[in-house]
Structure 1
Amino acid sequence: MRWLPILRIRMLKWHTDPLAALISLQVLQDALRSWGYLAVMVFIMIESAGIPFPGETMLLLASFSAATIVPQLHIGLIIAFAALGAIIGDNIGYYIGRTGGRALVERYGRYVFLKPQHLRRAEQFFEKHGNKTVFFGRFIAVLRTWAAFLAGVNNMRWLTFLFYNAAGGILWATIFGTLGFLAGRVFHDNFAQVEQIARNISWISAAVIVAVVAGAYLLIRFRRARGSDAASSSENGKV
């Protein structure tokens, strides 16, 4: 798709992983100009497979472009290819984690800032909140890269993983694709502002998820404590 012009936009700081910051916005523009929808799918697929990569930024850039100077890009197709890339990439990450994830982390994890102790802590969390991690992890930058891999490491049932993965991927692509498109109508050539909004959404999503998990944990502890007190009172009454 040679018709896509170079966008005149401010450079920005990537909010995902350190390695993604090494990829300039110009590279994303060139890839989108040359490959169109396929670039959206491939960038997201690479990120979802477990490699720090600006997949979400590519989705925002493509949807932003569709709303501004490139009407030939259809937002519906952008969302569809983004969701497909997320699902395929996550399944690649799941397969890698399932077949040799722990050995891979121990040998090469330091190159992508993932240490064995990080994996152990993540596994403990994943055992209790695996389904929610796969679904909501799509909306959090770092977790988006590693959720599928951890699902494989923890031997999560594939059909269960696929259900939550597909649901999260489709919803994520729809929300962020629509966000980029609508923001393009408002901010026009200021893509940096759009990226800032997406960054805020990621942080808010992380905060909400942590709050929900903490609240659920405290509620369960409270109910168990009340149950124990009620049982003790009942036994004392019988005596």
Structure 2
Amino acid sequence: MHIEEWLQTIPAVWVYILVGVVIGLESLGIPLPGEIVLVSAALLSSKGVVSPIVVGVCASAGAIIGDSIGYYIGWKGGRPLFDRLGRRFPKHFGPAHIAKAERLFDRWGMWAVFFGRFVALLRILAGPLAGALRMPYWRFLIANVLGGVVWAGGTTTAIYYLGVVADKWLKGFSWVGLVAALLFGLGTTVWLKRKVRAAEDEPQSVTAR
């Protein structure tokens, strides 16, 4: 059973809670499929099963709160925290992942938190790493709130309207909307990764932030 089909079998209030909790835990640093859950819930909203506004609000709240808790954990745990996580979860917190994320933070500062919301690697590392690197909380919070709202609200809105159009013009073939959304998301991710790779290839001149 696909996630979208399973979500249709539970009450709407639990869909909202699930969206907020899964995205919050992912933002906290736990590798969960937050983006898949959000896309599935947004597709349901295009069919009138749940409210797109509530889905967007819950997703935004989960992202912001989860990242903030992750920041606090990173601040308290520091670098030893990532060393322990790297030993236990090398696929997600290995030395190469942490080193790459640190280079992005060194170069982009608070913008790494904002754009990290759109990149799988940084989505689970941004909060804890910002805390471990002692980024001032007010700077982190601004980027965290903006990134969470733009990512969650933008994704929900885009998928909602794609689903509405698919239902209206293609007689219920909602998978077309999902495919279009996934292609759009893939294209955006590839573009961001190319920008990040190009930035990493440039001579690094770290300035104080």
Please point out which of 98, 108, 117 is paired with 2:85.
108
Q: 1:87 to 1:118 in 2, by over 3 A?
A: same
Amino acid at match of 1:91: S
Displacement of 1:45 in angstroms is 0.4
Displacement of 1:29 in angstroms is 5.2
Q: Look at both structures and tell me which one has the larger radius of gyration over its CA atoms.
A: 1
Displacement of 1:200 in angstroms is 3.0
The TM-score with structure 1 as length reference comes to: 0.70
Displacement of 1:168 in angstroms is 0.9
- The answer on 1:83 being equivalent to 2:43 is no
| Equivalent pairs, count | 198
**Structure 2 counterpart SS, 1:36:** helix
Q: What is the CA–CA distance in structure 2 between the aligned matches of 1:120 and 1:220, rounded to whole Å?
A: 14
Residue in 1 that maps onto 2:188: 205
- The answer on 1:130 being equivalent to 2:102 is no
The equivalences for 1:224-235 within 5 A come to none
Q: Do the aligned partners of 1:38 and 1:81 also contact (CA within 8 Å) in 2?
A: yes
Amino acid at match of 2:128: F
Q: Do the aligned partners of 1:140 and 1:203 also contact (CA within 8 Å) in 2?
A: no
Displacement of 1:169 in angstroms is 0.7
The equivalences for 1:132-211 within 5 A come to 132-188=111-167, 190=173, 192-211=175-194
Q: What is the CA–CA distance in structure 1 between the aligned matches of 2:90 and 2:78, rounded to whole Å?
A: 14
Displacement of 1:104 in angstroms is 2.2
The Cα RMSD (Å) is: 2.9
Q: Percent identity over the alignment?
A: 36
Q: What is the CA–CA distance in structure 1 between the aligned matches of 2:9 and 2:72, rounded to whole Å?
A: 31
The equivalences for 1:58-77 within 5 A come to 58-70=37-49, 73-77=50-54
Q: Do the aligned partners of 2:7 and 2:15 also contact (CA within 8 Å) in 1?
A: no
